[in-house]
Structure 1
Amino acid sequence: MHSEVVASRSAEQRDSRESRNGSPDAVSLAIIEQLQEDGRRPYAAIGKAVG
């Protein structure tokens, strides 16, 4: 039961971040930019940089 709720929430969050045409939103673009600069950057550093 718990894993179904978590999976459902994850899908809702993912869907809300995507625009209707499938293009990445501003946050996704910022994350991509961070990874292009350093593909091995830790998640915490990306989060601080993106906000």
Structure 2
Amino acid sequence: MSRDELHAIDEWLLANHFMLKTKGLYPVLHSTYDGIHYAEKITVANLKNLKKQLDQK
């Protein structure tokens, strides 16, 4: 994976309100609802949207 692809993924995660949760042994990205409510998964629709973003780069 190229540096540009990683940067695009980071930007997508931030744009879709993903935040770094630092509690626990390892930092893990969790999707949020306005930065408050945590969900433990990325949906199929989220993955399709991310793929579309990467294909445009």
TM-score bucket (shorter structure): 0.3 to 0.5
Max Rg structure: 1
- Larger helix share, 1 or 2: 1
TM-score, scaled to structure 1: 0.36
- Larger strand share, 1 or 2: 2
TM-score, scaled to structure 2: 0.33
Larger RCO (alpha carbons 8 Å, 6+ apart): 2
